[in-house]
A = this chain, B = another copy of it.
Amino acid sequence: MNPGEQVDRQSRILDAVLELLSRHGISGVNMRAVAREAGVALGLVNYYYADKPSLIRAVLNRIGESDMRLVTPDPEAHPDEQLREALRRVAGPEILTTPYLSLRLHLWALAQADEDFAVINAEAFDQYLDGLATLIGNAKPELSREACKQRADDIVVVQNGMWLTSLLGIDKAAIQRSIARTEQIAFAD
């Protein structure tokens, strides 16, 4: 067994779903394609995940976890810096790549088409908003919780716009200006 590469096939299956979802959307995710991409036999996918909805659910939950890390601050840093850091991370190189954004888009579309997935998605979104509001509260203790949530709402509108518009291929400079706009909203007096 190749060390460090031929690992855990269950997790390779989830990776395969992410890859296919990002590249071809939900219609490109079928059990055979997943198996091929993961390099396992068809039956193994159904061994770990009873059916296709279970498989998709598992993927959604995994993504929700990694999203939360975006607003999980470095505890060493100053609150101001934590917030600024978080606001920049969403336009960082790992996030602002086509594969990741494409994945996000397909996830949103999926949530729109399926009630169960919508619930998972909405929950993750709320947690993200909450995390962001907390960061703002730490950086600007004089603001009420309500005011923090309001700013978080406003920021998320711009952030989602940045993500979506990046995919449509807008000028990179517009993205930089939009990041500045989020900081302006967050730190306004």
> Using an 8 Å CB-CB cutoff, how does the interface string of A100-119 with B read, 1 for contact, 0 for none?
00100110111011000000
Contact of A23 with B by CB under 8 A: yes
Residues of B within 8 A of A110 (CB): 25
A108 touches B164 (CB 8 A): yes
CB-CB nearest in chain B for A98: B112
Indicate the size class of the contact surface on chain A: 35 or more
Count the copies. 2
Which residue from B122, B153, B161, B171 sits with its C-beta under 8 Å from A164? B161
Contact of A49 with B by CB under 8 A: no
Residues of B within 8 A of A105 (CB): 105, 108-109, 112
A113 touches B161 (CB 8 A): no
Residues of B within 8 A of A175 (CB): 157
Q: Main SS of chain A's interface residues?
A: helix
A101–chain B nearest beta-carbon distance, Å: 8
Residues of B within 8 A of A163 (CB): 164
Contact of A44 with B by CB under 8 A: no
**A-B contacts besides A25-B26, A157-B161, 12 pairs, CB < 8 Å:** A23-B113, A25-B110, A27-B27, A105-B112, A125-B168, A125-B169, A150-B174, A153-B171, A153-B173, A157-B158, A158-B158, A158-B178
